[in-house]
Chain A
Amino acid sequence: MRRHLLLILIFAILLPAFAVLIVSGIGLLHHEWAMESVARSYVQDMAENLATRLAGIEARRWGGSDLTSLEIRSFRVFTWGPSLPGWVALVATDGRVLFSSPGGSNLAQIWRPDLPLGRAVEVKNEEGDLYTIAVYPVSGGDRFVVAAVAWDQLLGPLVRVGRLWTLLALFMSVGILLALWALWTWLIVPLRELVAEIEILRWGKDLPSSAEPLAVGEIGSLRRVLSKLARGAVERTALRNRYVNDIVRVQEGEKSRIARELHDGPIQNVTAMIQQVRLSRMAGGEEETRRHLALAEETAQLVVRELREMCDELSPPWIDLGLEQAMSGLANRLSRHYNIPITMEVDDSVELSHEKLLSLFRIFQEGVSNAVRHGKATAMEGHIFRRGGSILFEFEDNGRGFDPSMNYETLRISGHRGLANMLERMMLIGGKLEVTSVPGEGTLVRCIIPETEEEMPL
């Protein structure tokens, strides 16, 4: 029911309007017919009456001579005319008017020899005025009584006033129908189209058609809002897909990097160890045997070192020793790895959960790697301290710096995920990341972690 309510409402207006249109149309016709029959019976009666009376007079006179004008004048109707606007006349067979009431001279304009006898008809004169006219033969048939009423003299206003309400109703219903048509074309149809479009719209995938509909302004606004929302949804989906893609790509990249490192390092070195052990067995002298075994041992040491470094990098076990040890340890390790001095000062009173520590750890790893690889830094300093209810971790390098107005998104898409990763890490633990850098003057990265455990709105 609710689903079709709009259609029902439209029909609720349409049907009465249509009914009024039909009824008033019929009423108009009936009114027309009624007027016509009134006019007809009037002229018919008048003509018949006069013809009978004239015949009566003539019969009394026996002589059969023509009526005198005196006798004619005794018919009030000939002197004063009929009570309705119109006239009567006595006409000879050849159309000659013998007597007529005032205005009867008009007869010449409408007289036609083929007018039927004894029956009223409508006739138009040359100017288009309508008359209802009746012709009756006076006994013997050598003369006729003609009676006529003119519609636009008195009947006219009568007709017009009588028609007025019907016409008004007619115009009103036509107006309503036109308004309904407009409502249908400019509101209902675009609305239904919009609804149909929304119903099949795959949210986050499709965009609604952007064509401005020929409709009321509100539909246009609705469409614009919908279009905006849909575009937002599509963008969010794209963003999420990109994000998932990134995660998968990073994971795959990491896996193949680890595989590559295992292949190029430990596997080759263990292979070399096997070779040396075999060579020691094949060796001729004791000294040669010892040389091969020493080489094998050395290679084994190398393998252990390589594997330990890989472990450290994958998930450093010594991160459990606490913030100070973890960060200083990392600084030392990175310092050795990149062969640049890296200092780390940690405020003893600062304590961080494992999760937050791990974030700072990764950010520092990433930051140092960025500073050395992209910034060509030759020294770095890190500080962890407390300020105004927040824990701050700052690290600074003396590298080339960059333009920090660079969009993180652009960096991320172009494969420079370092900064984007750092930013995401901080967001994950409810912190903020600020990067201050001037080309040629190094870079300062500041991580701000609020000390109170309140969830940041995502």
Chain B
Amino acid sequence: MPIRVVLADDHPLTRAGISAYLAQESSVELVGEAEDGLSAWKLISELKPEVALLDIRMPGEDGVAVARRVKESSLPVAVIMLTSYDAQQYVLASLRAGARGFILKTATPEEITRAIGTVAKGGFYLDSEVASAVGDRDFAPEALSAREREVLILASKGFSSKEVAVQLFISERTVQTHLASIYDKLGAKNKTEALLLALKYGVVTLEELIE
């Protein structure tokens, strides 16, 4: 039983390329294509595919907004953002909007298929290029303490150090110390990177972050 997929991309050539990739894959069935956000949403709500590949920049409504709609209407559709931007902030925004995967348009057909397979099974997929920008694939991080996990999860929900300190009844200074330790363990340079690395290494789950 192939995985049913909807593809939305406003650029005809790249859309044709992706759709040609998917056509070669027997495990995936492309059930619909859209060239803007609104028609993408229409397709998703009508066809209820298992996976939706959404371009971030689209006329009308962007991919992040469509992902948010999917999340808000609780459709059983796993969204993968498909984009030319590899900015970590975009990754974060997509994940907050409910996307379960983030791949670049330059990804190989195998990678796209793997991403579709992973999110269809309820997993989380981050493009190797985005991921390699934030760390080594084979790196095995030192385990985070329970407190550090708490700090990281709150921080990645967008709370400032001060707010995290208030919520955990610790001093702001301690929060900073925890963050420094987290960065060190994960090999991250900042909060966003730490979060992405933690997701990648399975230190935290996507559910913990977007709840």
* A contact residues vs B (CB 8 Å cutoff): 263-264, 267-269, 271-272, 274-276, 278-279, 282, 299
Contacts and interface: CB of A to CB of B under 8 A. Distances in A.
A327 to B, nearest CB: 35
B11 A278 contact: no
B21 interface: yes
Contact of B84 (A271, A275, A278): A271
Contacts of A276: 17
B105 interface: yes
Contact of A267 (B16, B20, B84): B84
13 contacts: A264-B11, A268-B84, A269-B13, A271-B13, A271-B105, A271-B106, A274-B106, A275-B17, A275-B20, A275-B21, A278-B108, A278-B109, A279-B21
Most chain A CB atoms below 10 A, which of B17, B18, B85, B109: B17
Contact of A271 (B14, B24, B57, B109): B14
Interface string B72-103: 00000000000011000000000000000000
B19 to A, nearest CB: 10
A282 B24 CA distance: 9
Contacts of A264: 11, 57
Contact of B20 (A263, A268, A279, A299): A279
**Prevailing SS type, chain A contact patch:** helix
Nearest to A298: B13
A278 B112 CA distance: 13
Interface in B11-38: 11, 13-14, 16-18, 20-21, 24
A278 B57 CA distance: 24
Nearest to B20: A279
A264 B105 CA distance: 13
A268 B14 CA distance: 6
Nearest to B16: A272
B106 to A, nearest CB: 5
Contacts of A274: 17, 106
Contacts of A263: 57, 84-85
B14 A275 contact: yes
B46 to A, nearest CB: 27
For the complex of A and B, list the 9 residue pairs with the smallest distance between their C-beta atoms, beginning with the closest: A275-B17, A272-B13, A268-B11, A271-B105, A272-B14, A267-B84, A271-B14, A272-B17, A268-B14
Interface string B45-64: 00000000000010000000
B201 to A, nearest CB: 28
B89 to A, nearest CB: 15
Contacts of B85: 263
A267 to B, nearest CB: 5
A222 to B, nearest CB: 53
Given A263-B57, A267-B84, A271-B84, A282 B13 contact: no
A269 B12 CA distance: 9
Most chain B CB atoms below 10 A, which of A269, A271, A299: A271
Nearest to A265: B11
B20 to A, nearest CB: 5
A263 B56 CA distance: 12
Nearest to A276: B17
B109 to A, nearest CB: 6
B108 to A, nearest CB: 7
B11 A282 contact: no
Most chain B CB atoms below 10 A, which of A263, A264, A272: A272
